[in-house]
Amino acid sequence: MTGYGAAFDWARGHVEAGRLPTAVLGVATAEGIVALDAFGATDGRPAQVDDPFWLFSITKVLTGLTAARAIERGFLTTETPLTDAIPGFGATRPADDVVRLRHLVSHTAGIPEPPLDPAGGLGDALRTPGRDFAAGTASRYSTVAFEGVVELLRHTAGWEWDADISAWSAGLGGAGFTLDPAAGPHTVVDAEGCGIDMARLARVRNAGAGMIGTAGDLLALGSALLRIGQGERDGVVQPETLAMMRRPLTGDIPRLDPYPVSAGQDWGFTFNLRTRAPGLIDQDVYGHAGWAGTEFWVHPTAGVAYVLLTNQGVRTGVDADRLDNAVVAAR
């Protein structure tokens, strides 16, 4: 843990204070994992460094990488309209209000948002008539939009999104991402109290929130992305594709709750780009967080990526910006 003591003290301290039930924290460079430890327990199950956790919205990055791979192969562009896959989509919208792939991946599609685990399934929720706003005119965080990404992948490339994630992640050396709760992820301790049915979430195979993985899986991905950013070719995506994914797609359009302008982020191609985050030492950062406290961030200039896995949705007194700064400023 040499050099990252402050970051691991942050994680250990939140567990010991009862603000987090568990914390698996890991740091990687382009060469691989340089620090990894686990703290706490879930209902008597001690956290181990190789334990799986529900990733929630980190799933969006994995789905985004699969969509970017389809773009590389000529199946899609960022301008491909959702109506290519769902001809009747948006029938109640004005003719000039066209939802395209770039809107789906940047939270600008204006599709009304259902719960994470809709009883009728995500496909039905995606097709529900109506809109929140015209595509591209505002940004409101959306998970159902990623079902649209799945539909486009299936229609244009013939890919099942989770199968492609399994295929490319297997080459990174991790255990592999999965939708199957039989992998044994730590229980999300307050999911039921927050109205989330985890069994139903697993059944709907949510492309924006359903994946399960380990710290090792994400650290292997983080290392790979750092190498791609340094010019490595023939990785998960090509350097030019990663650069495309990191281009802001939201600009100065209004940010609607739960991510107001003060959060300091732009949305790229599924990546959260915290280029204006006031609390960060290093704003050259991209990645994503997940509802139960999961964090996955890549700092290209600093040359590090880090992962925090935990399992509690409501985390009073936990400021992840402090962890980010402790990782970046490690000495």
What DSSP letter does each residue of 109-171 carry, written as one string? S-PPP--SS-TT-HHHHHT-S--SS-TTS-B---STHHHHHHHHHHHHT---HHHHHHHHHHT
Q: What pLDDT does residue 11 have?
A: 98
d(CA 175, CA 212): 11
For domain 5-328, the CATH superfamily is: DD-peptidase/beta-lactamase superfamily (3.40.710.10)
* pLDDT of 282 strictly over 80: yes
Is pTM beyond 0.85? Reply is yes
* Helix (H) or strand (E) segment spanning residue 241: helix 239-245
What band does 119 get if pLDDT is binned at 50, 70 and 90? Answer: confident
CA angle 295, 71, 153 (to 5 degrees): 80
Q: Tell me the mean pLDDT in the region 9-34.
A: 98
Sign of CA dihedral 241, 65, 318, 21: negative
* pLDDT of 2 strictly over 80: no
What band does 261 get if pLDDT is binned at 50, 70 and 90? Answer: low
CA angle 28, 31, 33 (to 5 degrees): 35
d(CA 189, CA 147): 26
Q: Tell me the mean pLDDT in the region 244-263.
A: 85
Q: What pLDDT does residue 234 have?
A: 86
Domain boundaries along the sequence of the chain: 5-328
pLDDT tens by residue, 195-238: 999 999 999 999 999 999 999 999 999 999 999 999 999 899 99
Q: What pLDDT does residue 120 have?
A: 85
Please report, for residues 47, 103, 136, the alpha-carbon distance to residue 262 in angstroms, rounded to integers and kept in the order given: 34, 22, 20
* pLDDT of 278 strictly over 70: yes
Single-letter amino acid code for the residue at 270:
T
Q: What pLDDT does residue 262 have?
A: 64
Q: What pLDDT does residue 316 have?
A: 95
* pLDDT of 1 strictly over 60: no
Average predicted confidence (pLDDT) for the chain: 95
Q: Tell which residue, 98, 103, 59, has the closest CA to residue 78.
A: 103
What band does 296 get if pLDDT is binned at 50, 70 and 90? Answer: very high
